[in-house]
Amino acid sequence: METKSPVPLAVLVGIQLPDITDIMHEASLQELGRLVKTLGYEVVGSVSQKRDGTGAGLLLGSGKLAELAAMTGGSGVVGSMAAPSRSKARERFESAPEAAAPAEPEPDAARKPEFVIVDHELSPSQIRNLERATGAQVLDRTGVIVEIFHRHANTREAKLQVEMARLKYVAPRLRESSGGGGRQQGPGAGETSLDLDRRKVRDRISELKDQLEAVQRDSEQRRAGRRDQLRVALVGYTNAGKSSLMRALTGSQVLVEDKLFATLDTTVRALQPETKPRVLVSDTVGFIKQLPHDLVASFRSTLAEALEASLLLYVVDASDPTYEAQLEVSRGVLREIGADAVPSRLVLNKLDRVDAAGRAALMEKHPDAILLSAHAPEDVSALRDTIIGFFEELMVEAVLVLPYAKQGMIGEVYESARVLSEDYNEEGRVLNVRGLPGAIARLRRSLVTS
């Protein structure tokens, strides 16, 4: 009978810097725990320490390092990477059979954590030192996020983006791998295995760039076709409820999970019930504190949905005590790609988890925000009306004359604008329409050139 592999166990390590409050530090550790859970690991403990910085070679002081090592079964000291010298007499003594009865296998409760997860980005030498001191595999926050992205990417574009970011993360850590694996001189004149690995990574990144550029050209063409349409982008922190709101607004069966980074691929659907002209809603990848720069760069094309939207809805989990810090993270990432100039509204979601006093405080602090629960139909309906009202203010009325020889364009007109009335004269069909200035200008150009 096949036995199921045990769930990997992990210990969290948090460093509280002078500018971080106790609440923010605790929230960050909790978030890291959710990231680790998303990877499929079980958190069995945590170690925290206040430090002035994260540049120390061992990150932790000797006392906290010993505490961590006790949890993982490590020695608590870095020691030498060289194998200890052993005499022949010592080897014969240790290899002699013992008369004692065979030891019982350790119960599952006695298992030691195999992973140490640190709530900061670590240098390769810090990872090496911690692994030697704890006897466990060490991952930093960036490594965890990159691994989650790697597992959750579904479309070809997302897979290419994530693989590139992952290789950029791994590349510098090849230089100081803790388990060198007995690397020998490899092929080529004086080229070591490590040199070969580095060259393979560089070549693969170059190959991925070429493939990604081709895929992104197709994506840009699709976005160009939607350029004059009414577009709303849901943006915000991971697990703020964007996908639930997307499903409620559009009726689409997008993935909804209580996990961090459940959505990596941009989904575009029409607002339901449909309006004339149609309003397109896009669900974008979520943000998180200390989102690796390589991931932001790789997902720049995906985030272009936010850059080219007519309206951004910043979706925030109002029940999270650190929602304001999360909102600032989201705004910071969008500033990085230049999307901070796009008109936006703040949506305080998950209001069903906030008590009456909390709601009153939110309304006082954010009087212009939209308070709702994505699971309340009346709230979603009110948000839909707000979206439509926003676009109504941007629309203008115009008269288009559709020549009798170009009646095939009538579908495009109805798709791009709202037709208020129709009439006929000797030139053709006279349409009184209402729509965005850009869409009407495009229709006029088509009427002249087609």
Q: Is 48 or 294 the better-scoring residue by pLDDT?
A: 48
Residues 407 and 337 in one domain: no
Which is nearest to 243 in space by CA: 230, 261, 222, 217?
Answer: 261
Amino acid at residue number 350? K
Mean pLDDT on 124-133: 91
On whether residue 173 sits in a domain, the answer given is no
Domain boundary among 131, 148, 165: 148
In-domain check, residue 92: no
Domain that holds residue 72: 9-77+112-148
What CATH number is attached to the domain comprising 350? 3.40.50.300
Q: Domain containing 30 — which CATH number?
A: 3.40.50.11060
Q: What is the pLDDT of residue 356?
A: 94
Please give the pLDDT value at position 228.
64
pLDDT at 109 over 70: no
The pLDDT value given to residue 301: 60
**Whether 430 and 282 share a structural domain:** no
Summarised one tens digit per residue, pLDDT across range 210-232 is 898 888 787 777 666 656 678 89
By CB neighbour count within 10 A (0-12 exposed, 13-18 middle, 19+ buried), where does 206 fall? Answer: exposed
Distance (Å, whole) CA 257 – CA 192: 45
Based on the domain organization, do 136 and 25 belong to the same domain? yes
Q: What is the pTM of this model?
A: 0.75
171 lies in some domain: no
106 vs 141, more confident: 141
How far is it, in rounded angstroms, from Cα 442 to Cα 433? 13
Q: 234 pLDDT band (50/70/90 cuts)?
A: very high
pLDDT at 186: 46
Is the residue at 217 inside a domain? no
Backbone φ and ψ for 187, nearest 5 degrees, come out as -65, 155
Same domain (yes/no): 252, 331 = yes
- Residues 252-266 pLDDT 10s: 775 555 556 655 567
* Domain-located, residue 94: no
pLDDT for 180 beyond 50: no
CATH number at residue 428: 3.30.70
Same domain, 292 and 241: yes
Last residue of a domain, one of 350, 368, 393: 393
Query: Is 70 exceeded by the pLDDT of residue 175?
Result: no
pLDDT level of residue 1 (50, 70, 90 thresholds): very low
Range among 155-169, 180-194, 241-255, 422-436 with highest mean pLDDT value:
422-436
Q: Kindly state whether residues 329 and 435 are assigned to the same domain.
A: no
Average pLDDT for 329-341: 86
The residue with greater pLDDT, 102 or 311, is 311
34, pLDDT greater than 50: yes
State how far the Cα of 343 lies from the Cα of 186, in Å rounded to an integer.
56
- Examine the domain organization and report whether 238 and 363 are in the same domain: yes
pLDDT tens digit sequence for 415-448:
888 999 999 999 899 999 998 888 898 888 888 7
419 in a structural domain: yes
Residues 33 and 135 in one domain: yes
Residue 73 within any structural domain of the chain: yes
Taking residues 68-86, what's their average pLDDT? 74
pLDDT at 20: 87
Average pLDDT for residues 159-164, to the nearest whole number? 85
Residues 412, 386: one domain? no
Question: Higher model confidence: residue 221 or residue 130?
Answer: 130
The answer to whether residues 386 and 237 belong to one domain is yes
Rounded Cα–Cα distance for residues 343 and 334 (Å): 12
Identify whether the C-beta of residue 287 lies closer than 8 Å to the C-beta of residue 303: no
Confidence of residue 177 (pLDDT cuts 50, 70, 90): very low
Give me the mean pLDDT over the 381-395 stretch: 94
Tell me how many domains the chain contains: 3
Residue 96 lies in a domain: no
Alpha-helical (H) ranges within 344-416 are: 356-365, 377-394, 410-416
Least confident range of 79-93, 156-170, 392-406: 79-93
Residues in the chain: 450
pLDDT on residue 135: 93
Tens digit of pLDDT for each residue in 275-288? 888 899 988 878 88
pLDDT tops 70 at residue 209: yes
Same domain, 381 and 402: no
Q: Is 284 exposed, middle or buried (0-12, 13-18, 19+ CB in 10 A)?
A: buried
At residue 298, the pLDDT reads 60
- Six-digit token string for 337: 């790609």
Tell me, yes or no, whether 19 and 134 share the same domain: yes
pLDDT of residue 359: 95
Q: What is the 3-state secondary structure (H, E, C) of 115-177?
A: EEEECCCCCHHHHHHHHHHHCCEEEEHHHHHHHHHHHHCCCHHHHHHHHHHHHHHHHHHHCCC
pLDDT 10s digits, 92-101: 544 545 444 4
